Amino acid sequence: MLTPPSFLLEESLHPANHKTIFILDHTPEFGIQRESLIEFDFNKARAPGFIPLAPVAKSLWTCSVECAVEYCRIAWDLFPTGKLIRFVVSDWKSHVLNSWNSSQQTLTHLLNGLALIGVPPPPNSDPDPSKVYSINHGLQAAVSIMCESTDQQHEKRTSLNENTVPVVNRCRVICITSVTNRDKIVELENKMLSELIVGNKFAASSDLLIPVDLCEFIILNVGPTLLENIPRHKVANILESEMHSVKTNGGLANKLTSLILKHYNLASTTVTGIPMKEEQNASSSANYDVEIFHPAKAHETLFKGSSVDVDQIKSLKEGFEYYTVTLKWSTPRGLTASEMHNCTAMHRITPVDVNSRPSSCLINFLIGGRSVMLEVIRRGGLKSLSHLLASHSGQIYMHSLAIGRSPHEDPPSISEGTGGRVTDYRITDFGNFMMQNRLFPIKGSKVQSSTLKRTKTRLDRHTKFWPMTISSTVIFNYKQYMEPILNIMLQPELRESDVVQCKQCIFSLIGNEAKHEPLHIMNTGQRGKGVKTSREEQYKQLWAELEAFLRAHCVTDKHINVLNCLLEVRNRDASDTFDKVDVDLALKELDQLNAKVERASVIRATTDSPLSPDANFHSTHSKTVLELWVSKFCRQKPRPDFVGLSTAQLMPGGRLKAKLYPQFKERPAPPGKGGKASSRVPAIIGD
C-alpha cells in the first residue's frame, strides 16, 4: 500500500555517512608550526618589569586533528549508533587508530590513539631511504577498512530474513593533506581508484569482506597555496571526488563544519535571549545566545508549514557558509515534568561551542532537569512555542512541537459517550492497580519476545475479577475486612504463611458475622451508591462475591486451599445453626441464595472442583428434604484435594483443566516397571 518508488529508497537507505574515514597527513610537513598564532599572554596590564611571552602556534597536524575530532564530537553527540568514523594516519606507513566496533567509536579512544601517534617527525630527521613519507599509505589502508563490514552491515548480510534489503556499501573518505597543484589531486584520485579496484577484487573473494559500491572522496587541501576548489565529480562508477582548498586552522574548521552539516543533514539553531546572571553582579542579568546543531528535521515544522516567515528567522551565520535559525528562549513557567506536550519529533542536540560560558550555562540548566521552550514569531506577529529543549538521562533533546491548528479542537467530552454517566467507577482502586502494574526495564541481558507477551499473563490475572463500579462489588468496598486476602490471592505463588493469613481473614469475618457486627464501608472518598442493605444481606453478598473472587484465582494448590477453607467454614457455620431453623426457613433461604447466585453469576467464574456446589442443585426446587440434608450436610469432612487440581491449568471462563495420566505420553514406562508406574497415576482419591 505504501511502497515508495525504488529510487527514493536508494537515496535514503545505506547512506555514506554510515562509514566515514578520516585520513590525516602525518608527514613531516604537517609538523611545522604555521601562522595561527595564539596570543595567550593576558597579563599585559600588569606591573612593570615583566617579561612578555612569545605567542604559541599550532602545527598543521594539530589543526587537522582538532577539526577531525570536532567532526566526530558532533556526529557522535547527535547519533549514538550507526554513524561510524575511523581514523587513518599516514606517514611512511599507515596507522589505523580504531575499528568499526562501537567500543572504539568514542572520543576518548581516538584521543588516546592520537597521543600515542604523537606529532609528525621533524623533516630530514630520519635518513633511512626506505621510509617514503606519503599520504598514499593512508589511501591504501582506507580502502582495506572500507571493505571491512560494520556490525550492522554484517548482521544484514547474514540475515536469513528474505525481506532484508541487500546492503549497499557506501563510504566517505575525508582526506586532510596538502598538495601544490591540481595534477596532484588527479594523482590522488587515480591512486584511490586503483586501490579501490584492487581492494574490491580481494573483498569479492572473501566471505567476511564487503566490496565498496561507492566511495565519496573528499580532499581537504590545507596549505600555503590555495588551489581552486573542485566540485563533486564522478571519477568512476565507484568513486566520486571533490576538493576544497582551505587555509589552516580557522579555514579548515569552518569548512569541516559546513561539510558535517551536509554529510549528516544537520541544521543550526541559535537560541537567543537566554538570561544569565553575572557572577560579579548577581542582581542584574544579561542576555546571551547559544548556537546548537541538530538533525535538520527538527526544523521541519517551521519550514513545511508556511505559517512562519522563514526569511525573518533564518540568517547566514557570520563568517560561515551555513544558515542558522534564531528562536527565542521562553522562560518556562508552570511547566511540570508530567505534562504531555504535542511533540511531533525529537532529536538530540549538541552545542556548537561546547565549552563557552553561555553554552555550559544552558547545558547545565537543562541537565539539571529543567526544560526550555523556544518561541517563534509567526506571520502576523503571533508567537508560537515551536520547540522544547529538555534532557533525558543526561542527553539533551530538541522536541518539535506542533504549531498548526489542532484537529482535536472541541472534542466531545468523555462523559458524553458510553459509560459517561456512570459516576461510581472504582477510580482509586484502578489507580492502585496501575501502580502495581508499572513497567520497568529488565536489567541485564538481551531479551526475546515483546513486553506485552511478558506482562499479559499478569494483567489477565489481576483483571480476572475486577468489577468496574462501586455498586457492583461488595468485597472491594469492605477492604478493611478483606485485606490481606484480596492482595495475597493475586500473587502467582503463595507461601504457607499467606494461606494462613487468608484463612485468618475468613475466620475473623465469620466471627464478626456470628457476633452480628455490621459491616462499615471504609471512607475512601469514593462516591458509592447509598443502597441500604440489612446486615444479613451484606454478609450474604460478601460471602457470595468472595467465593467468586477466590474461584477466579484458583491457580495453585495453595490458592485452592483458601477457597476450600471458605467453603468449609461456610458449610459448618450453616450446620451449627441448622437445628434452630425449620425446613421452611431453610427452603426460603435457599431460594434467596438461589436468586443471589444467579445475580452474582454475572461476575463470578465457576470451577468444576469437586467441592463446588452443584449448579443444578440450586436451580431445582423439586428436591426432597432428605436430598437437601444429604447434599448439604453429609460431607462434613471434605475430601482431600483432587491431585489433578494442583497441576490444573486455568481455562477461559474460569474453568480448570487438568491433564490426566500426563506421563503416559511423555515417558513410556519401561516394561518391567509398568505396573508400578500406573499405580502412581493421580486418580480420584475417595474416602
Instruction: Tell the smallest beta-carbon distance from residue 392 to another protein (Å).
Output: 4
**Does residue number 152 form part of the binding site for another protein (CB under 8 A)?**
yes
Stretch that binds another protein, among 326-334, 416-424, 587-595, 632-640 (CB under 8 A): 416-424
**Does residue number 41 form part of the binding site for another protein (CB under 8 A)?**
yes
Our CB check for another protein shows the closer of 501 and 564 to be: 501
Our CB check for another protein shows the closer of 49 and 672 to be: 49
Q: Which residues within the stretch 460-489 sit at the binding site for another protein (CB under 8 A)?
A: 460-464, 466, 468-469, 472
Residue 587, all three cell numbers: 427452603
Our CB check for another protein shows the closer of 23 and 390 to be: 390
Which residue reads 581492494 in cell numbers? 199
Q: Which residues within the stretch 487-516 sit at the binding site for another protein (CB under 8 A)?
A: none
Q: Which residues within the stretch 156-215 sit at the binding site for another protein (CB under 8 A)?
A: 156, 163-165, 167
Our CB check for another protein shows the closer of 30 and 642 to be: 30
Residues whose CB is less than 8 angstroms from the CB of residue 626 and which lie 6 or more positions away in sequence, other chains included: none
**Does residue number 51 form part of the binding site for another protein (CB under 8 A)?**
yes
The answer to whether the CB of 351 falls within 8 A of the CB of 359 is: yes
Instruction: Tell the smallest beta-carbon distance from residue 15 to another protein (Å).
Output: 6
Instruction: Tell the smallest beta-carbon distance from residue 615 to another protein (Å).
Output: 22
Our CB check for another protein shows the closer of 38 and 198 to be: 38
**Does residue number 414 form part of the binding site for another protein (CB under 8 A)?**
yes
**Does residue number 346 form part of the binding site for another protein (CB under 8 A)?**
yes
Our CB check for another protein shows the closer of 106 and 575 to be: 106
Which residue reads 494483567 in cell numbers? 459
The answer to whether the CB of 109 falls within 8 A of the CB of 100 is: no
Q: Which residues within the stretch 365-394 sit at the binding site for another protein (CB under 8 A)?
A: 367, 388, 390, 392-394
Identify the residue among 39, 162, 228, 318 touching another protein (CB under 8 A): 39
Q: Which residues within the stretch 6-25 sit at the binding site for another protein (CB under 8 A)?
A: 8-9, 11-15, 18
292-308 burial, b at 16+ Cβ within 10 Å, e below that, comes to: bbbbbebbebbeeeebb
Residue 284, all three cell numbers: 542584574
- CA–CA gap between residue 249 and residue 256 (Å, rounded): 11
Q: Which residues within the stretch 53-82 sit at the binding site for another protein (CB under 8 A)?
A: 53-59, 61-62, 65-67, 69-70, 73, 76-77, 80, 82
Which residue reads 539533551 in cell numbers? 396
Phi, psi dihedral angles at 277 (to 5 degrees): -80, 140
The answer to whether the CB of 237 falls within 8 A of the CB of 243 is: no
Instruction: Tell the smallest beta-carbon distance from residue 587 to another protein (Å).
Output: 35
Residues whose CB is less than 8 angstroms from the CB of residue 130 and which lie 6 or more positions away in sequence, other chains included: none
Q: Which residues within the stretch 617-656 sit at the binding site for another protein (CB under 8 A)?
A: none
How many CA atoms, within 13 angstroms, populate the side-chain half-sphere of residue 16?
A: 19
**Which x/- pattern over 422-461 shows residues binding another protein (rule: CB under 8 A)?**
x--xxxx-xx-xxxxxxxxxx---xx-xxxx-xxx-xxxx
Residues whose CB is less than 8 angstroms from the CB of residue 670 and which lie 6 or more positions away in sequence, other chains included: none
Our CB check for another protein shows the closer of 237 and 418 to be: 418
Q: Which residues within the stretch 322-341 sit at the binding site for another protein (CB under 8 A)?
A: 337-341
Radius of gyration of the chain (CA): 39
Q: Which residues within the stretch 220-279 sit at the binding site for another protein (CB under 8 A)?
A: 249, 253
Which residue reads 508567537 in cell numbers? 383
**Which x/- pattern over 82-101 shows residues binding another protein (rule: CB under 8 A)?**
x-------------------
18-49 burial, b at 16+ Cβ within 10 Å, e below that, comes to: bbbbbbbbbbbbbbeebebeeeeeeeeeeeee
- CA–CA gap between residue 586 and residue 578 (Å, rounded): 8
Identify the residue among 245, 359, 477, 607 touching another protein (CB under 8 A): 359
The answer to whether the CB of 403 falls within 8 A of the CB of 378 is: yes
Stretch that binds another protein, among 42-50, 237-245, 506-514, 632-640 (CB under 8 A): 42-50
Residue 66, all three cell numbers: 582538532
User: CA-based angle 25:28:32, to the nearest 5?
Assistant: 100
Nearest to 424 by CA among 475, 469, 473: 469
Stretch that binds another protein, among 217-225, 322-330, 343-351, 563-571 (CB under 8 A): 343-351
